[in-house]
Amino acid sequence: MTATAEHAPEIGRARPRKEDARLLRGRSRYTDNIALPGMLHLSMVRSPVARARITAIDTSAARSAQGVIAVLTGADLADVQGSMPNAWPITEEQKAPHHPAMAEEVVNFAGEVVAAVIARSPAAARDAAELVDVDYEELTPVVDLATAARDEELIYPDLGTNHSATWVFDSAEAGTGGNVKEAIAGSEVVVERTFRQQRLIPAFMEPRSTVVDPTGEQITMWSATQIPHILRVMLALTLGIPESKLRVVAPDVGGGFGGKLQVTPEEVITLLAAQRTGKPVKYTE
């Protein structure tokens, strides 16, 4: 006869955390702590305007700056950077635009990457990024859903619309509840409201950071991410690299709260920079 342990409720019980000792003693290892022999550093040049056509990029001053190895633009990467696929498709009919990691001809939001500087130190990369001169022909931005829905100004003219997808969740069709349409139709009172939600900004303390080492049998990426497996899949799809040739590691992550559930253009650009130079490259915001 086997004795069964008495059930004890977990609510209200103190449980020791296994990771605390290492973190409190300063033995954590974040992505920016990683230092590899011969590692280079990356700094991004970003658009200061919400929407514009790139008419010229002058990188000559940046290329001649002390410590600079290379300067990359969208034109330099156009043949290799591909298009970042939609990571969270909601319908089969959803429209997904061409989405290069680095803008090639047009920028569609303030902060979009238009160039990247690779240098021997973070300071040299940042200083040289200030020397990149970009000329913009500003276009009309679309900054709210109501304006976008009218399709008067198309962000991606080749799609012919600003509508990506329409999704109506039906719990009956999903098998998770009753028939919503019938319930509404049979109700004595139906209240309709339109809600405008605020922008959510997860305030993690650790900035985004990525290190890529292209020198082994596999390309290894360390990244401050919550989704290492999805990141590997998306890198393979974007760049045409066999997934078996990619290794993605998520070290300690200094907060995420959902804000690091995305695959970022900077991760793609860092990998491309490492491939271009043949050396490990680090990017930290």
pLDDT tens profile 39-71: 999 999 999 999 999 999 999 999 999 999 999
Tell me the domain boundaries of the chain. Answer: 32-284
State the helix-helix crossing angle for 228-239 and 265-277, rounded to 10 degrees.
Answer: 60
| Cα–Cα nearest to 99, from 84, 81, 80, 116 | 84
d(CA 112, CA 126): 16
pTM over 0.85: yes
Beta strands in 182-228 (DSSP E): 209-213, 219-223
Model pLDDT for residues 101-157, shown as the tens digit of each residue:
999 999 999 999 999 999 999 999 999 999 999 999 999 999 998 999 999 999 999
Homologous superfamily of 32-284: Aldehyde oxidase/xanthine dehydrogenase, a/b hammerhead (3.90.1170.50)
* pLDDT: which is higher, 171 or 15: 15
In this structure, what are the phi and psi dihedrals at residue 144, rounded to the nearest 5 degrees?
-150, 160
d(CA 185, CA 257): 38
Average pLDDT over residues 74-97: 92
d(CA 167, CA 137): 35
pLDDT of res. 4: 63
